Structure 1
Amino acid sequence: MRNCWLLLLGCLAAACGGNFSNDDLEFLNALPTREDLASELPGANGTVSEGGLRQRSAALAVGEPSELYRDTRAASDAFNGGMDGLLTLLEKIRELPPTTRGPELRVWGPWPDPNHPGHEVRFGMKREPERFTYVLQYRREGAGEDAWWSALEGAFQPDGGLRKGTGAVRILVKETKAHGFDAGGLANLDLLEIVYQTRALPITVQMRFVPASPQTASELLYGYRELPGGLGEMGFLLEDTDILPGTRKEDLAIISRWTKDRGGVGIVSVTGGDVPAGFTATQVECWDASFRVTYLKRSWETAVVGSASACPDVSALEQP
């Protein structure tokens, strides 16, 4: 899908320029921005090995690189990567005046789709009494209005203030593949769904990856929250996955909270499967501004590494 969007951006960049009306801007403000949705975990992006607890060291010491920060970095990169193509597309849409304007309608295109000869593409928005809706659509050139099909659909309900409100975006990967389009890095999915709210602090974003083959892959849920001053939280849930040695599958949940420049705190929880009934295997790990361990406590061990007093204060994010 990202490959498809990148070529579409070339099509948009070649479109004619012009001026925006105040009404145009009202439509454009209903589209989410990178600032609204992207995770802002401190630290550079990097390649992180997967595997949850099975890949964790048997022992960690104060001052060693934090494995839980590593996992949080991987989750943050996957979270941002999942929506990067979408946000890049919307950024380009904001640079272009609509091709068609109506009292409650804006349309960009249709234009020939450079990635799929014989097809054309358009982006449309409608203003309804309580919300805006939008779609990215394709059809074969020369086909009628009923031939348009949607690769993306979204909605935004304003709630006082610029870009304040609640929204949702669904990237319809299954439909895109069914029409013979290349879904790129999303090819193993049927659906990528993003739900967010910007009307009140903390800003929250949830992302759901629905696999194309549920028999071999599990649905993955991400959640992100953000407060002013660099406080952030990333959580993800992976159900029915093989984490611990044994024949049964467990549920893995990780919640990490961080500060702008004083490190973070992460909690890993594993339940079900080969974990004894009624027991939750947990690991609490803190890291400093250099992403190195300052504290580590595992529920299945009596030893504690470091001191809990070295953990940063992330209590502002502990409320639901």
Structure 2
Amino acid sequence: MRTCWLLLLGCLTVSCGGNFSNDDLEFINALPTREDLTSKLPRTGDSALEQGLNQRVGQLALGEISQRYVETRRVSDEFNTGLDGLLTVLERIRELPPTTRASELRVWGPWDDSEHAGHELRFVMNREPEHFGYLLQFRRKGSGEEGWWNAVAGTFKPDGGLRKGEGTVQLLLADARDHGYEMKGLGHLDRLDIVYQTRALPIGVQMHFVPSEHSLRPEFIYSYREIPGGLAEMGFLILDVDTILGGRREDVTIISRWTRDQGGVGFVSVTGGDLPAGRTASQVECWNASFRVTYSKRSWDDSEEGSASACPDVSALED
């Protein structure tokens, strides 16, 4: 198996630069950027603390490292990992002039697949009346237009300025795997669906991780919203997981909101499964700029520690 992202980057690296027309730039600006899509959760800056963040902890006390922050960091890193290979490829595409130009079409490539003799790849963009569409494609040489298969499919509908609008991206991981290509770090998935909007604040990204039939991992839906100034929110829905003793499976929703330098607030909600009908188990936990618990309230044991006044103001992200 070969890593598809590394293969494509290798092909792009040997390509030469050149000049862009104004019309080329209109196509290029329809591609999402790293700044548009990635999560920007603050990091501790403490190497010893960083090494301990993945250690599972039990009941927390005030002043200890926040488990809600630890969970959010793990998910934020996974969120960004899911985007990294795609965004790295798109960054390289943005640096290269198209190989083929037509009035409503741009094509980069085709380039030889140096890891698989007799195969090639290309990146294709079409401009429709209301949106752009793009495809990362591979084929066996000599198989004609019908031989191209899609590894990535995306759209962008511009609205309100440079790189402002709504977009979608699908990583067709099962199709790539069937053709002998593997997306690094995503081998347990059949598909990764991304929906984003940059036309209005807060900007938003949603990622749906669809596991393969034989994967032991649950289905995840992650969402991310951001307001300039460092105020951001990440929410994740974990479907059909066993979190409460009893054998039935629940759905878990976690929403974390944070500031650039004043800490954050995490909300946990568990529904269904072994909980009584119509009941929800919930927790609120706040952390400070040092990522330590300042307030915690749990519904399942009616406990409350600390003062809610210690929580940072994240109300700008409330619906």
TM-score w.r.t. length of structure 1: 0.94
Instruction: Note the C-alpha offset of 1:171.
Output: 0.4
Paired with 1:110 and 1:215, the residues of 2 have a C-alpha distance of 34
SS at match of 2:185: helix
Paired with 1:272 and 1:236, the residues of 2 have a C-alpha distance of 17
Instruction: Note the C-alpha offset of 1:316.
Output: 0.1
Aligned length: 314
Does 137-146 or 188-197 show the bigger shift? 137-146
Instruction: Note the C-alpha offset of 1:304.
Output: 1.3
In the alignment, which residue of structure 2 is the partner of 1:160? 160
Q: Which runs of 4+ in 1 moved over 3 A?
A: 44-50, 214-217
Paired with 1:217 and 1:66, the residues of 2 have a C-alpha distance of 25
Instruction: Give the 3 Å change call, closer, same or farther, for CA 2–70 of structure 1 in structure 2.
Output: farther
Paired with 1:285 and 1:182, the residues of 2 have a C-alpha distance of 39
CA contact (8 A) 1:2 1:185 kept: no
In the alignment, which residue of structure 2 is the partner of 1:118? 118
Q: In percent, how many aligned pairs have the same letter?
A: 65
Q: Which whole-Å deviations, capped at 9, do the CAs of 1:265-314 have from their partners, x for residues lacking one?
A: 00011111122222111010000001000000000123311110000000
> What's the RMSD between the two structures over aligned residues?
1.7
Matched, 1:293 2:311: no
CA contact (8 A) 2:44 2:290 kept: no
CA contact (8 A) 2:4 2:183 kept: yes
Structure 2, unaligned runs of 5 or more: none
Paired with 2:12 and 2:215, the residues of 1 have a C-alpha distance of 39
Q: Which whole-Å deviations, capped at 9, do the CAs of 1:53-77 have from their partners, x for residues lacking one?
A: xx6523x221100000000101111
Instruction: Give the 3 Å change call, closer, same or farther, for CA 138–44 of structure 1 in structure 2.
Output: farther
Instruction: Note the C-alpha offset of 1:117.
Output: 2.4
In the alignment, which residue of structure 2 is the partner of 1:284? 284
TM-score w.r.t. length of structure 2: 0.94
Instruction: Note the C-alpha offset of 1:217.
Output: 3.7
In the alignment, which residue of structure 1 is the partner of 2:5? 5
Does 271-280 or 151-160 show the bigger shift? 271-280
Paired with 2:215 and 2:126, the residues of 1 have a C-alpha distance of 38
CA contact (8 A) 1:233 1:256 kept: yes
In the alignment, which residue of structure 2 is the partner of 1:84? 84
Structure 1, unaligned runs of 5 or more: none
In the alignment, which residue of structure 2 is the partner of 1:30? 30
SS at match of 2:43: coil
Does 258-267 or 110-119 show the bigger shift? 110-119
In the alignment, which residue of structure 1 is the partner of 2:146? 146
Instruction: Give the 3 Å change call, closer, same or farther, for CA 40–272 of structure 1 in structure 2.
Output: same
Paired with 1:13 and 1:149, the residues of 2 have a C-alpha distance of 22
Map 1:108-257 → 2, pairs under 5 A: 108-213=108-213, 216-257=216-257
SS at match of 2:89: helix
Q: Which whole-Å deviations, capped at 9, do the CAs of 1:167-186 have from their partners, x for residues lacking one?
A: 00000001111112223321
Instruction: Note the C-alpha offset of 1:188.
Output: 1.0
Paired with 1:3 and 1:56, the residues of 2 have a C-alpha distance of 35
Does 23-32 or 301-310 show the bigger shift? 301-310
Instruction: Note the C-alpha offset of 1:145.
Output: 1.3
CA contact (8 A) 2:2 2:180 kept: no
Does 217-226 or 98-107 show the bigger shift? 217-226
CA contact (8 A) 2:5 2:183 kept: no
Does 208-217 or 262-271 show the bigger shift? 208-217
Instruction: Note the C-alpha offset of 1:214.
Output: 6.9
Structure 2: which amino acid aligns with 1:131?
Answer: H
In the alignment, which residue of structure 2 is the partner of 1:57? 58
Structure 2: which amino acid aligns with 1:122?
Answer: R
Instruction: Note the C-alpha offset of 1:8.
Output: 1.2
Instruction: Note the C-alpha offset of 1:100.
Output: 0.5
CA contact (8 A) 1:253 1:269 kept: yes
Q: Which whole-Å deviations, capped at 9, do the CAs of 1:184-204 have from their partners, x for residues lacking one?
A: 321111100100000000001
SS at match of 1:256: strand
Instruction: Note the C-alpha offset of 1:215.
Output: 7.7
CA contact (8 A) 1:261 1:289 kept: yes
